[in-house]
Amino acid sequence: MISVRAPRAYLALVMLLIQLASCGSGGGGGDGGSGASTRYVDAVTPSDGSGINYGASPTFIVHNASTAQNGSGVYEIIIYSDGGSVNVLASVSGVSQDGNGSAVWTPGLTFDESRQYWWKWKAVFDAGSGPENAESDLLTFFVVKSDAGQSISPRSGGYMDVNSASFPVFAVLNAYTLPGANVTYDTELYSDPELTSLVAYVSGVKQDDSEAYTTFFPGVALNSGQTYYWLARPVVGGQPLNWRGVYPFTVKNLCEISGSSYAQNAISFTRGEECSLIAFSNPAQALGRPNGSGHDPSNYGGFISLSRGGSIVLEMGRTIINRPGDDLRVWEYVSTEELEAFAGQSEIGPWFSLGVEWCGEFCDFDLGRAGLNYARFIKILDVSSLAGGCYQTAGADIDAVYALGAASSSSQCDLF
């Protein structure tokens, strides 16, 4: 008589695999009538803690991969706007499994950006020994911001200062602003628009909740005069969203860039004190020549009201250089307001303060005060410290920013 006996190690491996398989994969394993260890559902979409793009109309899928054991399920799916499972946004019942063992539902909802939602499934399985009820834990998903993962520095079509290219810094806009966000970012940098020559790859960079953006450092030196292409994607709860971009930029001596002496690009606008009455919130109004107009809120135009504590980052058409005296003029409208100007060489700084001024029609600043020879990016911060007030033009009202001293040759962009 011949007996075939599996080696002990092999049996142990098989048992381990069975145990691993029964753990499920983030799908909220069913806890039905036959005990907590029963697995009804392999996985769900969106998976617990993952993200969806703003504007997407997500499909909810419950994958019952154990159909043979459980029988076929008939599902109810419920979406909540709160974690207490009180406010039902939408629900469906009577959803049967398709040929792949999946219950599929597209509610046709679009969700608010930068928000968390909750959902769960309930099912009745025809398990052979009679119907069995099962229900998932409460699952969650996040809707990212409409500009999640987009490039902020270097901006798409923008520049990287040649003096920064030996240790380049990149930044993407954060996916959402909820506290404790479980978001990381992957990024790729290429030297060709076809994305075949990879220069650097960085993954798993944790979101920086102290800023509106997250920075990362590829650790490669970039070449002067060369155009590069980069892209990024948010990873929410371990699940990657699609790649954003592609963003081209050129490593350049910033003093070689020609353009207007006025601000040319609005990079970012960060509100300060919450004030729903503000009626002038378009950063583009701070670009170009001063054009503020009007005598009261009914006919004002040509500026942006920063809100108290608000700030705006602008890119100049031509890089500003330090000459004797003042180098930068900020045109302000409406009333005299207190503001602080900063200068830097990238969209995200680092920022060097040029001081605080009470600014009426305009106020002037000196790059030399910060020890800078040149600057291409200007940040203006409202520093009104007086007791608040919320009205249509709250905060400094920025009309235009002008380079009194604009660069004309590459030799002017020396660091020291």
Residues 179-198 contacting Ca ion, CB under 5 A? none
- Is the Cβ of residue 157 or residue 325 nearer to Ca ion in the bound state? 325
Cβ neighbours of residue 298 closer than 8 Å, sequence gap 6 or more: none
Residue 46, preceding peptide bond in cis (omega within 30° of 0): yes
Stretch that binds Ca ion, among 8-16, 112-120, 274-282, 322-330 (CB under 5 A): 322-330
Closest distance of CB 249 from Ca ion, Å: 27
- Tell me how far, at minimum, the Cβ of 143 lies from Ca ion, in Å: 34
Among 136, 322, 346, 393, binds Ca ion (CB under 5 A): 322
Residue number, 222 or 312, with CB nearest to Ca ion: 312
Residue among 271 and 369 whose Cβ is closer to Ca ion: 369
Q: Taking Cα atoms as reference points, which of 413, 93, 92 lies closest to residue 251? A: 413
**Tokens linked to 68:** 């043979």
Q: Which is nearer to Ca ion, 128 or 324 (CB)?
A: 324
> Do 296 and 376 meet the contact criterion of CB atoms below 8 Å apart?
no
CB of residue 410 vs Ca ion: minimum separation in angstroms? 19
* Residue 397 found at the interface with Ca ion (CB under 5 A): no
Smallest separation, CB 325 to Ca ion (Å): 5
Print the binding letters for residues 290-309 with Ca ion: x by CB under 5 A, - otherwise: -x----------x-------
Least distance to Ca ion, CB of residue 278, Å:
16
285 binds Ca ion (CB under 5 A): yes
CA distances from 45 to 120, 191, 353 (A): 11, 36, 48
Nearer to Ca ion, 62 or 316 (CB): 316
Strands 158-161 and 151-153: unpaired
> How many whole angstroms separate alpha carbon 286 and alpha carbon 272?
17
Closer Cβ to Ca ion, 332 or 366, answer by number: 366
Cβ 163 to Ca ion shortest distance, Å: 19
The amino acid occupying position 127 is A
259 lines the binding site for Ca ion (CB under 5 A): no
372 neighbors 407 (Cβ within 8 angstroms) = no
The interface region with Ca ion, picked from 216-224, 242-250, 324-332, 387-395 by CB under 5 A, is 324-332
Shortest Cβ 327–Ca ion spacing (Å): 4
- Residue 202 CB neighbour total at 10 angstroms: 16
Burial of 311 (0-12, 13-18, 19+ CB in 10 A): buried
- List Cβ neighbours of 3 (8 Å cut-off, separation of 6 or more): none
Q: From the centroid of its chain, how far is CA 254?
A: 27
Min separation Cβ 379 and Ca ion, Å:
17
Count of residues engaged in binding Ca ion, rule: CB under 5 A: 9
Q: Which is nearer to Ca ion, 151 or 265 (CB)?
A: 265
| Residue closer to Ca ion, measured from CB, 117 or 351 | 351
Taking the complex as a whole, the smallest distance from the CB of residue 391 to Ca ion amounts, in Å, to 20
Among the listed residues 42, 113, 327, 332, the single contact to Ca ion using CB under 5 A: 327
Closest separation in Å from C-beta 119 to Ca ion: 46
- Segment interacting with Ca ion, rule: CB under 5 A, options 17-25, 169-177, 204-212, 319-327: 319-327
Taking residues 355 to 394 in sequence order and writing x for each that binds Ca ion by CB under 5 A, - otherwise, the string is -----------x-x--------------------------
Q: Which is nearer to Ca ion, 171 or 400 (CB)?
A: 400
Q: Cβ distance 413 to 374 under 8 Å?
A: yes
**Judged by CB under 5 A, which of 347, 357, 382, 399 binds Ca ion?**
399
Contact residues: Ca ion, CB under 5 A: 285, 291, 302, 322, 327, 366, 368, 399-400
